[in-house]
Structure 1
Amino acid sequence: MKRLLRATELDTRLLGMIGAMLIIWIGFDIFTGGLFLTPRNLWNLSVQTASVAVMATGMVLVIVTRNIDLSVGSILGFVGMIMGVLQAEILPQILGFEHPLIWVIALAAGLLLGAAIGALHGSIIAFLNVPSFIVTLGGLLVWRGATWFVTSGRTVAPMDATFRLMGGGTNGSIGATWSWIVGLLACAAIVAIILNSRRQRYRFGFPLRPVWAEVFLSGVGCAIVLVAVWVVNSYPWPINIARNYAEANGIAWPEGGLFIAHGIAVPVLVALAVGIVMTFISTRLRFGRYVFAIGGNPEAAELAGIKTRWVTVKIFALMGALCAIAAAISTARLNAATNAQGELDELYTIAAAVIGGTSLAGGTGTIAGAMLGALVMQSLQSGMVLLGIDTPFQRIVVGIVLVVAVWLDTIYRGRSR
């Protein structure tokens, strides 16, 4: 095992989290009588994880710089309400009902608004020297109250038909064929990334991984992708929706029923795309290097010429834009904008980042770990719902898990010194 870990250079903390998640999955499957590891529940689990996973990718950069953002849930609710009002009440009067540009304008407005709110928070933190805890705590209260004032507490519905695709469901999935195509493209990308990494190591004279380790990583990565595609393709449309589809398209209804696979949900694709982009930003761009440099030693980063204040503003602006994407997913999934939308999401987002290996001391964190942490958090919540555990006790469990994660991070940092 030591030889395998050394040769493949796998992160032991990430492997430990994957092992813990598998234990959680198997345990819930046993106690729920086999309900947890069904294609239906795993498909729903992936959709439910999407919005928190998107925000967790931004929370990594925030925490890496030794800051915190407690306002993400309230920003999600406020931006979601604005996008809902634009789609349901304002734009149809201007452009007409179901105009093809309604969802585009609403989404663009949400992204700009989210980024502006984040930039406002970042500016106060960076230039007025107010601690991020206080600024974002104030933002949590301000934007939650502003959400209520937009519609005086009303729920706004329905959303634009195209916009609703971002929420998943039978129409918000890409089907079996496209899911296999996406899966094969992902496998090709995994192999290409590993080959390119080997080429770059050789070019700059860095030590190369053994060929068998490269083959092992490629095989495991492709196997995980293909198994995930097989699972989502094993979840069929509900029988009534499938029957209506058959009647509308003149398809004869077979004796055993018509099997139409959901495939990969659109919000999952959005979350994965955000994860890829954020990984590129944090590991390949100068901005990402600046973020980790600030987290490692803010004073040294500033003396090195990094404009730490502007980097802080950009981080919070990016966090706000990610909240807007999460708001779009959440609003589309509910087909409504509500005042309670995003409540406690700040807890789950911070917990996902910390469980995923992001250190509250700053300087350490990965995007993939945060997204996996979001999946662990949602797995706990989903399993407890299937077991019929009350919501108050679910929050107790989440709180305990968060404290344990921080404690384990403290132990890990202490041993690595």
Structure 2
Amino acid sequence: MRNALRALELDLRLIGMIGALAVIWIGFDILTGGAFLTPRNLWNLSVQAASIAVMATGMVLVIVTRNIDLSVGSILGFTGMIIGVVQTQFLPDLWGFDHPLTWVVAVLVGIAVGGAIGAFQGVLIAFLGVSSFIVSLGGLLVWRGGAWWVTTGQTVAPMDSLFKRLGGGFEGAIGAGPSWMVGIAAALLAIAVLLASRRRRAHYGFPVRPLWAEGVVIALLTAVILGAVLVVNAYPLPAPIVRRMMEAQGLATDGDLPLIAHGFAIPVLIALAVGALVTFLSSRTRFGRYVFAIGGNPEAAELSGINTRWVMVSVFGLMGALCGLSACIATARLNAATNANGTLDELYVIAAAIIGGTSLAGGVGTIHGAMLGALVMQSLQSGMVLLGVDTPMQNIVVGIVLVAAVYIDTIYRRGVK
């Protein structure tokens, strides 16, 4: 077994995380009488985890550089209020309600505002030498208060009809056919990336997996992707919605209604796209190499000619932009901009990154691990909600899991050394 795992080159921490996720899912499914592992709950679980997963990808880079960002939830809340005001007050005066470009402008404004806030905090950290803990702690308070001042505490609703699709729901799902197209394309892309990586390693004389091991990895990835398609397509739209859709098309609704699948939710596809882009950025670009070099040894990175200050500003600017994108997802999902939006999200984002294998000592972290960590955190919360666990106890469990994750990371680093 040990030789087989070595040949497959699988990360033991990733395997352990997948095993822990399986235990969580099976345990909650038993405790809830089979209500957890249903297509409906798994679909909702993926939508709920999307916003945290997007921010967790940026948090990996922040922690890799030996920093922390405690303000991500507050940035999300502040940016969400800006997004709500823009599309309910400013843009309607310009071109009316439900304009086809409203959602585009709202998303761009959210990303721009979040990126500007993140870059501003990065400047304070990199050029003024203020600790990231202090800057982001101050940001947690400042931007949460700013969210209140934008509308003096009023909730802004409703959102643009096209913008709402970014939050999921039946209007934010792509259906069965497009989901199969996305799944097949993702599987082919994953296979192409694996084969290209194998060819590149062989070209430079690096060791490669045995052919049987490469085939096993390809088969596992394909099975996971196509299995996800099967799950999301097994969750049908509610009958009243199907009836309204058929009536709008002038079709008869007297007989049996057809089963129309949700398919993938748009926020899930956004999270997966962000994960792929940040993975490419961190592993295939000069910027990514600089980030991990700074995390490994900041002094050596600076002496080697890396402009560590601007890299730091870029990392926090990217983190802020991802908060703005997550604000779009969260606001669209609620169909409202509220002052409480994003509360305690910083806890879940940091926990997702650490559970996913990002070391607080810096220099180590993976994007896919953080996204899987976000799914673990959301699974815990969703399962406790199904069991009727109150919010204080949920926070206690999340806190315990976070401390345990840091302890496991410490033991793992000792073992590696």
| TM-score range for the pair, normalised by the shorter chain length | over 0.9
How many residues were matched structurally?
417
Could you list the per-position Cα deviations for residues 317-343 of structure 1 after superposition, in whole angstroms to 9, with x for gaps in the alignment? Answer: 000000000000000001100000000
TM superposition shift of 1:46: 0.2
Q: Which amino acid aligns with 2:291?
A: V
TM-score normalised by L of structure 2: 0.99
Cα distance in 1 for residues equivalent to 2:313 and 2:254? 59
Cα distance in 2 for residues equivalent to 1:60 and 1:36? 29
Q: How does 1:253-292 map to 2 (within 5 A)?
A: 253=253, 255-292=255-292
Q: Which amino acid aligns with 1:364?
A: V
Tell me what 1:145 maps to. Answer: 145
Tell me what 1:175 maps to. Answer: 175
Tell me what 2:369 maps to. Answer: 369
Q: Which amino acid aligns with 1:101?
A: L
Cα distance in 2 for residues equivalent to 1:250 and 1:6? 60
Tell me what 1:378 maps to. Answer: 378
SS for the counterpart of 2:170 is coil
Q: How does 1:218-233 map to 2 (within 5 A)?
A: 218-233=218-233
Cα distance in 2 for residues equivalent to 1:110 and 1:253? 41
Tell me what 1:125 maps to. Answer: 125
Tell me what 2:108 maps to. Answer: 108
Q: Which amino acid aligns with 1:42?
A: L
Q: Contact 1:60 / 1:366 at 8 angstroms: preserved in 2?
A: yes
Cα distance in 2 for residues equivalent to 1:106 and 1:170? 21
**Is 1:346 paired with 2:346?**
yes
Q: Which amino acid aligns with 1:12?
A: L
**Is 1:356 paired with 2:391?**
no
Cα distance in 2 for residues equivalent to 1:98 and 1:107? 15
Q: Which amino acid aligns with 1:86?
A: V
Tell me what 1:66 maps to. Answer: 66
TM superposition shift of 1:252: 3.5
Cα distance in 2 for residues equivalent to 1:151 and 1:173? 31
Tell me what 1:391 maps to. Answer: 391
TM superposition shift of 1:254: 6.7
Cα distance in 2 for residues equivalent to 1:140 and 1:158? 26
Could you list the per-position Cα deviations for residues 294-350 of structure 1 after superposition, in whole angstroms to 9, with x for gaps in the alignment? Answer: 000001101111111110000000000000000000000011000000000000000
Cα distance in 1 for residues equivalent to 2:107 and 2:187? 31
Q: How does 1:292-311 map to 2 (within 5 A)?
A: 292-311=292-311
Structure 1 residues without counterparts, runs of 5 or longer = none
Specify whether residues 26 and 254 from structure 1 end up closer, same or farther in structure 2 by C-alpha distance, changes over 3 A only.
farther
TM superposition shift of 1:247: 1.5
Tell me what 2:32 maps to. Answer: 32
Q: Contact 1:243 / 1:258 at 8 angstroms: preserved in 2?
A: no
Instruction: Answer with 239-248 or 387-396: which moved more.
Output: 239-248
Could you list the per-position Cα deviations for residues 104-162 of structure 1 after superposition, in whole angstroms to 9, with x for gaps in the alignment? Answer: 11211111111110000000000110000000000000000000000000000111111
TM-score normalised by L of structure 1: 0.99
Cα distance in 1 for residues equivalent to 2:3 and 2:255? 55
TM superposition shift of 1:255: 4.3
TM superposition shift of 1:368: 0.2
TM superposition shift of 1:258: 2.1
Cα distance in 2 for residues equivalent to 1:266 and 1:58? 20
Could you list the per-position Cα deviations for residues 341-378 of structure 1 after superposition, in whole angstroms to 9, with x for gaps in the alignment? Answer: 00000000000000000000001000000000000000
Structure 2 residues without counterparts, runs of 5 or longer = none
TM superposition shift of 1:257: 2.9
Cα distance in 1 for residues equivalent to 2:314 and 2:198? 33
Cα distance in 2 for residues equivalent to 1:36 and 1:414? 37
Cα distance in 1 for residues equivalent to 2:329 and 2:241? 22
Q: Which amino acid aligns with 1:346?
A: E
**Is 1:164 paired with 2:160?**
no
Q: Contact 1:88 / 1:157 at 8 angstroms: preserved in 2?
A: yes
Instruction: Answer with 40-49 or 206-215: which moved more.
Output: 206-215
SS for the counterpart of 1:414 is helix
Instruction: Answer with 299-308 or 249-258: which moved more.
Output: 249-258
Cα distance in 1 for residues equivalent to 2:4 and 2:248? 55
Cα distance in 2 for residues equivalent to 1:157 and 1:43? 25
Tell me what 1:200 maps to. Answer: 200
SS for the counterpart of 1:171 is helix
Cα distance in 2 for residues equivalent to 1:413 and 1:42? 33
Cα distance in 1 for residues equivalent to 2:251 and 2:331? 33
Q: Contact 1:47 / 1:168 at 8 angstroms: preserved in 2?
A: yes
RMSD, aligned α-carbons: 0.8
Tell me what 2:185 maps to. Answer: 185
